[in-house]
A and B are shown apart, each in its own frame.
Chain A
Amino acid sequence: MSSSFWLKPRLLWPAIAVLAVGVWALVAAGQSPYLQYRDWVYVISGFAGIAALCLFPVQPILAHEGGINGRLGHRWIGAAAFALVLVHVGGLWITSPPDVIDALLFRSPTPFSVWGVASMIAIFALGVVAILRRRIAPMVWRRVHMALVVLIVGGAVLHTVLIIGTMGQVSKYALCAVVLLAAGWGVWRTRLS
Chain B
Amino acid sequence: MSRLTMNRRRLLGAAGAASLVGMPAMAQSVAPTPTMRGGANNYRPGAPIVERIGGGGFLMTGRVRRAGDGAPLAGRRIQMWAHTIEGHERDWASHGATLTDAEGRFQMDMPQIVPAFGQAHGHLAYDADEDAAFGGGEFQTVFLRPLMASPNDKTLNVEFVLVEA
| B6-26 to A contact mask, C-beta < 8 Å, 1/0 | 000000000000000000000
**Inter-chain contact A110/B119, CB cutoff 8 Å:** yes
- Give bound CA distance, A168 to B132, whole Å: 46
The reply to whether B118 and A110 contact each other, CB–CB distance below 8 Å, is yes
Interface pair B117/A99, CB less than 8 Å apart: yes
Q: Which residues of B contact A37 (CB under 8 A)?
A: 83-87, 114
- Would B41 and A99 count as touching, CB distance under 8 A? yes
Out of A92, A98, A112, A165, name the residue touching B42 (CB < 8 Å).
Answer: A98
Whether the Cβ atoms of B120 and A164 lie closer than 8 Å is yes
Query: Contact at B115–A102, with CB atoms within 8 Å?
Result: no
- What's the Cα separation between A98 and B39 when bound, in Å? 10
What B residues does A110 contact at CB under 8 A? 38, 117-119
Q: Which residues of B contact A38 (CB under 8 A)?
A: 88, 116
Interface residues of A in 89-108 (CB under 8 A from B): 92, 95-96, 98-99, 102, 107-108
B38/A34 in contact, CB under 8 A? no
Q: Do A95 and B38 have beta carbons less than 8 Å apart? A: no
B42 contacts across to A, CB distance below 8 A: 96, 98-99
Interface residue ranges of B20-57 to A (CB < 8 Å): 36-38, 40-42
CB nearest neighbor in B for A34: B114
* Interchain residue pairs A-B with the least CB separation, the first 8: A98-B41, A163-B118, A109-B37, A164-B115, A109-B38, A99-B117, A37-B114, A37-B85
